[in-house]
Structures are given as C-alpha cells and as structure tokens.
Amino acid sequence: MVSESPVEVSGEPVLFYQGRLLQLLRYAVVVVAGVGLLVFVGCDRGETPDDEVVEPVGQQPAEQEVPQQNGEVEPLEATEDEKASGGNTVVDGGTEDEDEPEDSEASSQEETALQQDSQPGWREIEGEQSCDGNWCRLAPDMEGVNLGGRVSQVDDEFYVGGVVGDRFDGESYLFRYDGSTWHLLALPERWHFHGPIRPISAGEIYTIVENVQKRPQHQVFAFDGTEWSSLMDFESYPGFLEAWPGGRLVVGGFDFRHYDGESWEEKGKANELMSISLAFGPDDILALGTELRGEIWHFDGERWEKQFDAEGIGRPGDVWAAARDEIFVVTEHGETFASHYDGEEWSLMKTPSPASPGMDARLNGVWGVGADDVFAVGTHGEIYHYDGAKWRRQDSPVETTLYDVVGISSDRVYAVGEDEVVLEYDGDKWQLMDSPGEDDTMWEIWATGENELFGTGGEGLYRLDTSTDGNGQ
C-alpha cells in the first residue's frame, strides 16, 4: 500500500548566503514537493508504474448477497465453507477455480422485497396475485423465479422449491405460501433441490440436494428452524425420501437407509433405483423402481422385501391408493400398463394401446374416486378410465402431454399438462378450460376442498375456485 510519507530530496546540502539564491532554492523545493504529491495521488488512484504493485485501499471484491436471519441482506463470502451442523459437518461446494465476482441485479431486487419473518430462518417476501375467471395465479414477487418439483402441503401451508436466475447456476430457495403471504428460505450456496421436500413444519424440514459444482454429489439436508445441516452424503444415487417428526427418515436409492434421529442404518439393497414411494407410516412403506424391471418393494418395520417384479415394464409414473388394500401404479414401456394391489398380491393390468400405433406412450398421473372409478393420464393427451373390470380409453381434446389428474367427484375431474392445458371432466366428456397462466406448464394438481383446487407450474401456484362460473356467480 502506498503510504503518505514526506518526499525526500537526496544530495549534499549547499549553503547559500545570498538572499536571492536562497529564495530560488525554496521555490525549487516547493516544485519538487508538488510533483511528488501528484505522483502520490496518481498511485492512490491505481495509476502506478508497471513494476510497482499497489494494493487498493478500502476495496474488496463484490460479494454475492443472500438473505440472513436478521432480515437484512448480508454478504456471504464465496471462499468460506458453510458450517451446516454446528461445525460438525461442512456444507461445501468445493471448486478448484473460483469465478470472478458477478454483479447480480437479482440480489438487489431481493433485498428490497425481503422483510422480517416471525418464523426463524425464513424471510417474508411480497407476493403477486392475478385472477382470470375461476383461476388465480399466486406467485412470489421476485424476478427470474422458476418453481419446480412437487408441492408439499402441511396443514394450510404449501412448500415448493425454486431457483432464482439460471436453473443450474441460480440461487436455490424453498418457498412457503400460507394462504396470504409468501416466505422464502435460502439453501446454502452451490446446492440445489434434487428430490422430495418433506416438511414437518416450518421449523423442521428434510430434503435431498445436489451440489451443482460437483455433480453427482448428493446429500440429505435438514433444517432445524435456524440453519441447514447435512445428515448424510450419498454413496449411491438418491431416489425417494420419507420423513416423520423427530428426524425419523427413510431414504431409498439402490439401497435403503433408515435414520432414527441420531444414526443411519442400512436395511437392504434393491436391484434397481427406487424413486417413488408411498408411505402409510414409518413401518409400512412401498418403494417403486424406475428401470426395466418395474420392481415394487415393501418395508414392514423390520426389513425390506420385494413384493412384485414386472420385468420388462419399468418406469412407474405415479401411484395412488384408494385404501391400504387397493393400490394402483401406472407405468410404461412402449405400451402403457397399470399394476394393482388387492391387499394380498400385485397383478399386472393391461391398459389400451396408444391411439397411434408405434407411439411412445407413458402414463404420468393416476387418481380415483374409488377402486372401481380410476383415471390415468399421460403423453399425447392419453386419458384412461378403470371401471373395476377393465381400462378404457376416453376421448381427449388435446394431444399434448398430461402430467397429473385429480378430482372432487366422479363428474368433477381435472387434468393438467403442457402448453397451459387444463382439462375438465363432467362425467360425460373432457373439455378444455380457460388457461390459468401464459406459456406455463402445470406439473400437478390437487384438491383442498369441495370447491377449491391448487396446481403448480414454473411461474407459481394456481388456485381454482369451482364454486362460481368464473363471473363471480
């Protein structure tokens, strides 16, 4: 750093007894001092000779801004590790080459929107609502937000993961909507959601995450109401996660891991990746595989056992239970299939062939009023119905992919999918509804009451009020 030391003039002292010469010498000293001051000022502004290194005064690299617990936006240095469990486990992205600091407009926008939240760790954020007919779009008021994955509901609150900015390099947040207000909770830097989000409450949440700078590196994260901590680093690829209060967890991939709140125990290994689960309780869990064998495993509280092996079927799309002894799984492998459990054994059910021969079909969603009134939807607008004896194709007004189906009764059923598609079934035929959003894909839909449904897309939550005709009547 350049110091503010006086300018030194070297040379032997010369004594002048004549007044004029002494005056000239004084003028010379003033000139030299002025030149030295100009040099000092130039160096302080960064104008230095090539062979001199000057350390900038009071300047630090721009740091990325993330929300902190005090409700203000404080800098988080990218070079420090996030201590995720009181110093015991380090949540670290660990890159060899650090990128240059970037000027983020999104961070400044987030700073203005964040407010103090009553729930520790969370930040309250402004939301926006726009309604058109029966539909209302509900979204956090943040530019560049992309919501993704399944929504989890606890009481009257909805939880969904999202990214602000680029889906791979942006900031990851957990969003919570309580019916009137949006709240957000930041993940540690470099980690994105990569599996189910299992909230017990706003102060107890479990999820699977991926390190976006060290793929494939996955961990189980827990939020305790104050901070995130890492409970396990995956040795195999993660699939499903189930959670209960007190930190009782079950994680499945190519093996099954159980956590009692203090330690992990391996309970068995599967022949393929288990990615979909249906839990009736911590001692009664079904796990479904995603490869070509279509295996179904069951945990009875002591051990995991394979219940069904539909070799050659594979890749389940969804599971729905009318009761513990009436379970339906939809799947695909060139042609669509469904599996059924009657309380004693699983059986394979053939669904109709796709409408167009050679069509690559897949069933993505299944829901029913009862065991003899079940609907399934999939690619190319395919819609099937099971009447207790046989699956039949129903006429569909679209050819786009449908992702989910749900209903309030047998004559009030709804399906959602790509290109803003929302379909309604009145007990006789399916027809298009007005779209709730522009250029948005709805991934799922679920009912919260007799006249209210919610759907989720990349741009927000969508609420459907079926008690009116869209004009408030």
CA atoms in the 13 A half-sphere facing the CB of 390: 4
The DSSP element (H or E) to which 25 belongs, if any, is: helix 19-44
Residues 363, 441: Cα–Cα separation, whole Å: 17
> Smallest Cα–Cα separation from 178: which of 148, 158, 149, 201?
158
The contacts of residue 453 (CB under 8 Å, 6+ apart) are 406, 408, 414, 445, 446, 447, 463, 464, 466
The Cα–Cα gap between 215 and 198 comes to: 23
Residue 373, classed as helix, strand or coil, is strand
* pLDDT of the chain, 473 residues: tens digit per residue: 433 333 333 333 333 333 443 343 344 444 344 444 333 434 444 443 443 333 333 333 333 333 333 333 333 333 334 333 333 354 544 333 444 444 444 444 444 445 555 677 899 999 988 888 888 889 898 888 888 777 899 998 999 998 988 777 788 999 999 988 999 999 998 899 988 999 999 999 999 999 888 877 899 999 999 999 999 988 677 889 999 999 999 999 889 999 999 999 999 888 888 888 999 999 999 999 876 667 899 999 999 999 988 776 667 889 999 999 999 999 866 567 788 999 999 988 888 877 766 667 788 999 999 999 999 999 899 999 999 999 999 999 999 999 999 999 999 999 999 888 999 999 999 999 887 766 678 888 989 888 889 988 877 888 988 876 543 34
27: Cβ contacts below 8 Å, ≥ 6 apart: none
Indicate the burial class of 43 (C-beta count within 10 angstroms; 0-12, 13-18, 19 or more): middle
Residues 308 and 344 sit within 8 Å (Cβ to Cβ): no
Q: Rounded to two decimals, what is the model's pTM? A: 0.73
Q: Which residues of 125-162 are buried (b: 16+ CB within 10 A; e: fewer)?
A: bebeeeeebbbbbbbbebeebebebebbeeeeebbbbb
For residue 159, how far is the Cα from the chain centroid?
A: 10
Instruction: Provide CB contacts within 8 A for 91, sequence distance 6+.
Output: 81, 82, 83, 84, 188, 191, 219, 221, 228, 229, 230
Is 412 in contact with 431 (CB distance < 8 Å)?
A: no
